[in-house]
Structure 1
Amino acid sequence: MSTQRSLVVLARGGYAARGVLYLIIGVFALLAALDSTKPKDSHRSLEALLSQPFGYVLVALVVAGLFAFAGWRMLQAIRDVDHHGKKIKGLVIRAGLLAAGIVNGALAVFALSLLIGGIKRSGNSEGAQTKDLLAHLLSWDHSNLLVYLIALVPLGVGIAHIIKGWKASFEKYFEADEDVMQYVRPVSRLGLIARGIVFIEIALLLIFSGSNYKALNPPGMKDALVALQNLPAGGMVLMVMAFGLIAFSVYSFAQAAWRKINMDLPDMPSP
């Protein structure tokens, strides 16, 4: 198999791995809306997956997929395989892709640590390292300013997702006929908008409660879903968001199947 084809397979596997994660998160959020459990973020979802029959095999596949997805995001950012260009808009998009690559790589490392060291030991060491890092970064007098700057990242990601979902601009990256897109399009739009809302809520949690996170873990998807659950009619709101996150997982699976994976790089041999 050529280098280009190998990268295409890895990229598609990465999208599928992201789909698995969001499917699990969405299902847990749906169960929480039905008062069966509590919402879980990506880290807790991996731990829950590991506890299931054949969990180690499933997590190993997710680890491989997340590493592949992280590599693909970095390739998108650094080599500009989607041709976003070097203007301000293109550079902002590529910076976001690079950040996504780093985040997915970190999540893959966490999942790998679960496989190697066991859930309990990995969870404790991960939490301790996170708290130590945050305590170091946020120990200065004006650390709340840093929190506000960090909040701009999920805020920007959330707004971009909502715009992308509303305009359905993702369609230009799909290689599928209208018979397929008539089903993929509405589900993908719902998934992108739902994920965007969750990211914006994470940003708002940071902005309005930034001082509470000086030596603690920053808010994540679980915190955003719990906050939704605590709203008036929160169970119904959480249920809608749960279906939205499941829709995002379907969008990820659709990307694994039909997304254009451009590998027309000058220093790579043709397939």
Structure 2
Amino acid sequence: MSSSTPNAPSRDQWIEIAARTGLTAKGIVYSLVGILTFMAAFEMGTGDDKGGKSQALEWIEEQPFGQVLLGLIAIGLLCYSVWRLVEAFLDTEDKGSDAKGLVVRSRYVFSGLMYAASTFYAAKLLFGSGSDDGSDTRETVAQKLLQQPYGQWLVGAVALGVMAVGVYQAYYSLSGKHRKKIQKTKLDNKVKETLLASGKVGYIARGIVWLLIGYLFLRAALQSDSSEAGGSDSAFSFLEQAWGSWVLAIVALGLVCYGIFSFVRARYQPVNT
């Protein structure tokens, strides 16, 4: 008798499962980031901290059955990270090995590593050792870079790279490139356009956050002070101080839109394997 399991998922099926699981987890995290930040903007019982990814994961842990929920989210984020790295190294999107293709695939690597870091933080929370938030991590990175020869230039290069990500997010939205994620679905046209509009708003909001994080790194470079660097929570605090609670609330709602669009992608986006 054969020991193989005929109905076991193939490699291609595992890649698709990882992609859809990862996109669902990403949608949950971004929706929570937006909701918690919106509530914090108007002091609606969430404390002074704005809702970065680390705060969203901490909030999940504090809920009933939080350890179970956080474990599931950690698995989902790991799936997303693995999927992005598969896209990069196996070139499942057929981007090629020319200069343009390598730039796109390097973006997949960057995304995979970012979500691997979020997975690691969720795991630290699960095992009771999560103490440093995203801002502290970025301050540590800035501090170590500043200690190197030409440290200010290195931090400045990181700042420009992060800001470039923000600009690309806005371009991705305004150019309509996000439409291809669900363009071929058989949804009602009005529903599809509404969902695409949520994605458009979401990518712009995400771009704003990346630009602000990059700006904070740029300040750290110019002042040679690692404490100026920070993550999304620091970016939210800076945004509120500079432009007020209403602007912060609008960006927060944009991040909720991004989370919703991630759910839509999890359901309808074709996954190349």
CA distance in 2, matches of 1:199, 1:39: 15
**1:26 aligns to what?**
34
Give 1:235's match in structure 2, choosing from 238, 241, 245. 245
Residue 63 of structure 2 aligns to a residue whose secondary structure is coil
- Asked if 1:111 corresponds to 2:104, the answer is no
Structure 1 residues 210 and 132, CA gap change in structure 2 (3 angstroms): closer
Q: Which of 123-132 and 221-230 deviates more?
A: 123-132
Taking structure 1 as the reference length, the TM-score comes to 0.88
Q: Which of 209-218 and 244-253 deviates more?
A: 209-218
Taking structure 2 as the reference length, the TM-score comes to 0.87
In the TM superposition, what are the counterparts of 1:183-194 in structure 2 within 5 Å? Answer: 183-194=194-205
Deviations 1:95-153 (A, max 9, x none): 1110110111111011111111x1xx321599988766654432135311111111122
- Residue 159 of structure 1 and its aligned partner are, at CA, apart by 1.0
CA distance in 1, matches of 2:176, 2:140: 41
Structure 1 residues 158 and 144, CA gap change in structure 2 (3 angstroms): same
CA distance in 1, matches of 2:204, 2:222: 28
Give 2:86's match in structure 1, choosing from 75, 80, 85. 75
- Residue 63 of structure 1 and its aligned partner are, at CA, apart by 0.5
Structure 1: gaps (5+ residues): 264-271
**1:16 aligns to what?**
24
- Asked if 1:254 corresponds to 2:264, the answer is yes
Structure 1 residues 220 and 136, CA gap change in structure 2 (3 angstroms): closer
- Residue 217 of structure 1 and its aligned partner are, at CA, apart by 8.1
- Asked if 1:48 corresponds to 2:62, the answer is no
**2:70 aligns to what?**
59
Q: Do the aligned residues in 1 keep the contact of 2:212 with 2:235 (CA within 8 Å)? A: yes
Large movers: runs of 4+ above 4 Å: 124-134, 211-217
CA distance in 2, matches of 1:4, 1:21: 26
CA distance in 2, matches of 1:6, 1:213: 46
The total of aligned residue pairs comes to 259
**2:11 aligns to what?**
3
Q: Do the aligned residues in 2 keep the contact of 1:130 with 1:217 (CA within 8 Å)? A: no
Deviations 1:247-269 (A, max 9, x none): 01011111111111001xxxxxx
- Residue 82 of structure 1 and its aligned partner are, at CA, apart by 1.3
The residue type paired with residue 165 of structure 1 is S
Q: Over the residues paired in the alignment, what is the CA RMSD in angstroms?
A: 2.2
Structure 1 residues 93 and 200, CA gap change in structure 2 (3 angstroms): same
Q: Which of 101-110 and 164-173 deviates more?
A: 164-173
CA distance in 2, matches of 1:132, 1:197: 23
Give 2:193's match in structure 1, choosing from 179, 182, 196. 182
Structure 2: gaps (5+ residues): 1-8
Structure 1 residues 132 and 23, CA gap change in structure 2 (3 angstroms): closer
Residue 231 of structure 1 aligns to a residue whose secondary structure is helix
